[in-house]
């Protein structure tokens, strides 16, 4: 990833069972956009959908905004077993497949060494990192003293059903900054940009706008 100038991750969940990322092996990334004059960005995804990995609307929103921003994108994903794969029609795990997620261990989660190494290498090289939804937990676990957001810190009648994640972030030694769903928080010192996305129960266009704010800030940081 030496030539890549930024990293964006959507719901790449911290776990204790990550296999090497495609980016860390001789194999090609899962997908690449056509060469473009803008920043080269690695987009890291995981899982198969909202209940067991990357939320599809989040992934497509990231790609749309990166495309609009002129970025050249390569998509990567961990090549690993999952704690479970969810039948999205039934909302229940399929017994025949396996997976691993942050939800199992909470603040005591472990990040696979390859994922941790890539995050630390980007951070050390002052390359911006964008994280949406639950993925800011990765930065909280790996980058000491980082500032991130996963939205508001109270459930507010169910609008923020995962508000407790903010306390897990604080327990990891990171600073949580409450932000609205259409906003992105920029940690200027660490060049980490985060947005709540579907940590909030809201209309899809609000999610799209928040991810757009995150991508815009990541691309701006690429030029600094």
**CB 114 within 8 Å of CB 24:** yes
Question: pLDDT tens across 178-214, in order?
Answer: 999 999 999 999 999 999 999 999 999 999 999 999 9
Q: How much is the pTM?
A: 0.82
Domain residue extents for the chain: 5-21+34-83+100-221
Question: pLDDT tens across 98-120, in order?
Answer: 463 455 566 777 787 777 888 99
Average pLDDT, the chain: 81
How far is residue 138's CA from residue 140's CA, in Å, rounded to a whole number?
5
**CB 74 within 8 Å of CB 40:** yes
How far is residue 186's CA from residue 92's CA, in Å, rounded to a whole number?
36
How far is residue 186's CA from residue 188's CA, in Å, rounded to a whole number?
6
Select from 32, 10, 36 the least CA-distant residue to 214: 10
Pick the CATH number of 5-21+34-83+100-221 from 3.30.1200.10, 3.40.50.720, 3.40.50.880, 3.30.70.380: 3.40.50.880
């Amino acid at each position: 990833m030496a030539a890549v100038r930024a990293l964006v991750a959507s719901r790449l969940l911290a776990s204790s069972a990550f296999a090497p990322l495609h980016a860390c092996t001789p194999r090609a990334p899962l997908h690449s956009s056509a060469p473009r004059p803008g920043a080269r960005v690695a987009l890291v995804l995981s899982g198969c959908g909202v209940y067991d990995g990357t939320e599809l609307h989040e992934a497509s929103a990231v790609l749309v905004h990166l495309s609009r921003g002129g970025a050249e994108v390569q998509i990567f994903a961990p090549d690993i077993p999952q704690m479970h794969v969810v039948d999205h029609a039934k909302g229940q795990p399929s017994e025949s497949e396996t997976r691993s997620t942050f939800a199992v261990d909470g603040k005591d989660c472990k990040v696979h060494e390859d994922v941790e190494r890539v995050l630390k290498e980007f951070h050390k090289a002052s390359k911006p990192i964008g994280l949406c939804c639950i993925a800011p937990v990765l930065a909280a676990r790996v980058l000491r003293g980082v500032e991130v957001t996963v939205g508001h810190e109270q459930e507010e009648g169910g609008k923020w059903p995962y508000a407790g994640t903010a306390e897990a972030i604080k327990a990891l030694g990171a600073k949580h900054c409450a932000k609205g769903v259409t906003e992105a928080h920029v940690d200027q010192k660490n060049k980490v940009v985060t947005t709540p996305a579907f940590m909030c129960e809201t209309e899809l266009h609000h999610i799209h706008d928040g991810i757009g704010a995150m991508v815009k800030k990541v691309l701006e940081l690429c030029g600094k």
